[in-house]
């Protein structure tokens, strides 16, 4: 309700609730901070003394995940330069698609180098990429099976 009232501003919405509720949200809903880096930054900056911040396994997982995503995208952007249709890539027209999604790679401990490899990249229409999101498709399974048969990953990793 607050979020709608404040026009989608997480910071304003969060600031509008009582300190008691803020503490509850911070303690029990780490996924809220995960959902919006902006909100997490705002909470950490403004309420760090209230939070008595300590590292948790969730924090380590999050740090590792962010690093994985960044590394996969760095590799992807470098490799994408060699794609035949790279000139089509435009905001909301054509997107760079990871056939096997980055999120799947992270969850299944597939090396970021494979996720960012040219074999796993293609240029597709934005709408198609948006609808696909992080889902596995028949093409995804084909790529995973090639990686398994080529000995690049173990069947247990996928």
- The DSSP call for residue 85 is T
Domain locations along the chain: 2-51, 57-157
Going along the chain, which residue ranges are E strands?
A: 94-98, 121-125
Q: What's the residue count for the chain?
A: 158
pLDDT digits (tens, 9 = 90+) for 123-158: 999 999 999 999 999 999 999 999 999 999 998 755
pTM beyond cutoff 0.75: no
């Amino acid at each position: 309700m607050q979020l709608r009232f404040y026009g989608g501003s997480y910071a304003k919405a969060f600031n509008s609730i009582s300190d008691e509720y803020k503490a509850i949200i911070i303690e029990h809903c780490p996924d809220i901070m995960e959902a919006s880096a902006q909100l997490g930054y705002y909470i950490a900056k403004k309420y760090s003394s209230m939070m008595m911040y300590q590292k948790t396994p969730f924090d380590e997982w999050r740090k590792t995940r962010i690093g994985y995503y960044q590394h996969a995208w760095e590799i992807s952007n470098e490799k994408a330069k060699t794609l035949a249709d790279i000139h089509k890539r435009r905001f909301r027209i054509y997107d760079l698609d990871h056939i096997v999604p980055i999120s799947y790679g992270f969850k299944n401990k597939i090396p970021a180098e494979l996720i960012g490899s040219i074999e796993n990249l293609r240029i597709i229409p934005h709408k198609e990429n948006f609808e696909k999101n992080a889902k596995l498709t028949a093409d995804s399974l084909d790529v995973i099976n090639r990686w398994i048969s080529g000995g690049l990953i173990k069947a247990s990793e996928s």
